[in-house]
Structure 1
Amino acid sequence: MASQQSDGDRVAEELPFRTTADAEITGREQLLHTVDSLIIAPFRILWADWRARVGFLIIVLYVLMGTIGVLVNPVPTSGMGERYLQPFHDNWLTFETVTILGVGLPIDPVIYLPLGTDAMSQGLWSQIVHATPAMLKMILAGAVFSTVVATILGTLAGYKGGFTDRSIMTMADITMTIPGLPLVIIIAAVLRPDNPYIIGLILGINNWAGLCRAVRSQVLSVRERNFVEASRAMGLSTPRILVDDIIPDLMSYVSIHFVGAARGIIFESVALYYLGILPFTTFNWGVMMNLAYTTSGALYTWESAHWIFLPMITITILSVGLILFSQGLDRIFNPRVRARHVKAASGGDDDEEQTSPMATVPTN
């Protein structure tokens, strides 16, 4: 006669984590879930906030200026038009006639120097557009460098503690005591770099220390939470715990710093180009302001005032766009908001009641 199954074995088989799902997830469903969580849900979160929506559109506009814009706009050269042509002058937008079925219709728009010209008769719109790619490269290199270095070192220092913590914090404190702008000026004056990526790295060389110390403080509190203790008790490696448990909890704070670092790169680069410390080129907003001030006294002459104010407006709009965009980054990395939008993107009902796993355990 077969032996009877013990009560302990029967209970173990009935526990929910010992059972498997009846339906298997297909590759297509897994792909759709990944697209929902990584692309659709973040976009829905951004689009739900008007500030993040406006900031996102501004950033996209500048990215298009730095990529497609340089291809469709002519390189600035002397003699493109009259000297000191004002923005949106009488002939900046005209329509050429197109013949359709023997009927001439003025439907072909022609844009001619929409933002006017400078003292050398160069189009200001073309100068602004062709200065955008280098600015985007500097922002990308400098902001990414300082944010990545600060996040890695700050997380490692806060989690490991001991000698590692003391060594990293000592290095960060020494870096913070060095005046940032004079250091950048000296390095730029000695190296005279002309590569935008190298310039961005130089500008971001002193920006990591403050974030590193702030990230360390956050990690000191996060590492004592239950889910980190559970991962540590399960024997997971330190890199796995940092990547899966601690860094995602800090991403909201880190992303906000990334936007702040990007704005700092913009202001520092424009200032150094305006002062003539970085290599001189007309394809930069700071150089445009320098030429407007030194060549025609744009601050005191109405005829050339647009030459210095247009780059300033360009910088301001980009800075405002970054600030507005940062408003939505906190919501993107909020797990509750993100999960709700992932569920909505997948066709689920936000108000649908969730069933507890323990409901599958039969009660006798």
Structure 2
Amino acid sequence: MSQGFIDFWQTMYRNKKAFSGMIILAIFIFMAIFGPMMASLDMTVNFDGRYKSPSFAHWLGTDYGGRDTFLQLVYGSRDVLSIGLFAALFTLVLGFVIGAVSGFVGGKTDTVLMFITNLFLTVPSFPVLMIVAALVQIKNPVMFSFILAAWSWAPLARAIRSQLLSLKNREFIIACRIMGLKTPYILFREILPNLTPYLAINFIMAAQGAIVASVGLMMLGLAPYSPTNWGMMIQLAVQNTGGIFNPKGYIYLISPIMCLGLFQMACIFFSNGLEEALNPRLRS
């Protein structure tokens, strides 16, 4: 186990893009977990302290209500990253189960599951998410994450099915069938480990996509009100400060946009070297 961790670390370190992405992601995760524990956020309106410039007291200045911009980003990161984490997890489970069963079982099961998958692929996801978010009362991040995952699993399921079509005729799978092992055992104990690098990369990219979608829905006001969510910060910056035209509100507007862009870049860079780090054949 320790040697595997060392090999993973050395591979990621050699890939400078992947290493920088991993460091940035680690900073965001640390900020989301420990940031709210290290500093308290006061959301009380203080008009005397509005639009303050960056200083040691307020690293990114204050917003239109005199509240610390940096602390809002810190507190909002927990909400944003938790939605991305749960949505990516749900996407991975749905995509793997549906794609694996479709490719491994075949026949009418494959036909029905692929028909449903293609149906989800042909429907544009974000407009549907807007409608669902407007109709369904979203009460917590887990429910929000499941709604996001419900319209993002189809591409992964189709890709997993393609992988299964090539894996199910391998010698070790044929041997499992001859031994009479059940389908769930073969899928989760024999096939799943072979797909770990691919699933890990898709987990990162699914989290990235879910965060972008959640911020977009929050910015449009179609998700539960959370004033520190990055999407809501963008909406409030535009509506309450005229952030596009008011120079005093530029920092409050640009900060969540920069965080979102930096997180997306980190996900792309990290996934760039993840497959090499998890696949010994690529390392050699």
Count of residue pairs brought into register by the alignment? 283
Cα distance in 1, alignment partners of residues 81 and 91 from structure 2: 16
Superposed CA RMSD in Å reads 2.0
2:52 to 75, 85, 97: 85
Pick closer, same or farther for the CA change 1:305–1:227 going to 2, 3 Å: same
- In the alignment, which of 114, 117, 128 is matched to residue 183 of structure 1? 128
Of 326-335 and 143-152, the range deviating more from structure 2: 326-335
Q: Percent identity?
A: 32
Equivalent position of 1:45 in the other structure: 11
| Contact map agreement 1:113 1:125 (CA 8 A) in 2 | yes
Amino acid at match of 2:8: P
Gaps of 5+ in 1: 1-33, 94-111, 341-364
Offset of residue 239 of structure 1: 2.6
Q: 1:76 aligns with which of 39, 42, 59?
A: 42
Amino acid corresponding to residue 155 of structure 1 in structure 2:
A
How far the C-alpha of 1:337 sits from its partner, in A, is 5.0
State the structure with more CA Rg: 1
Counterpart Cα distance in 1 of 2:281 and 2:246? 55
8 Å contact 1:80–1:123 — kept in the other structure? no
Q: Which has the higher strand share?
A: 1
Q: Which whole-Å CA distance do the structure 2 matches of 1:293 and 1:154 have between them?
A: 42
Contact 1:80–1:122 (Cα < 8 Å) also in 2: no
Give the match's secondary structure for 2:244: coil
Contact 2:47 2:64 in 1 (8 A): no
2:269 is matched with 324
1:283 paired residue number: 228
In structure 2, the residue matched to 1:137 is: 82
Q: Which residue of 2 aligns with 1:30?
A: none
Aligned pair partner of 2:203 in 231, 254, 258: 258
Structure 2 segments unaligned to the other structure (5+ residues)? none
Residues 41 and 68, structure 2, Cα contact 8 Å, conserved in 1 = no
> Structure 1 residue 317: deviation in Å?
0.9
- What amino acid is aligned across from residue 52 of structure 2 in structure 1? L
1: CA distance, partners of 2:192 / 2:33: 32
Q: In the alignment, is residue 171 of structure 1 matched against residue 138 of structure 2? A: no
TM-score (norm. length: structure 1): 0.72
Give the superposition deviation at 1:133. 0.9
For the residues of structure 2 that align with 1:337 and 1:298, how far apart are their CA atoms?
Answer: 48
CA distance in structure 2 between the aligned counterparts of 1:250 and 1:154, rounded to whole angstroms: 12
Deviation at 1:81, TM superposition (A): 7.0
In the aligned structure 1, how far is the partner of 2:29 from the partner of 2:267?
A: 12
Rounded Cα–Cα distance in structure 2 between residues aligned with 1:212 and 1:322? 21
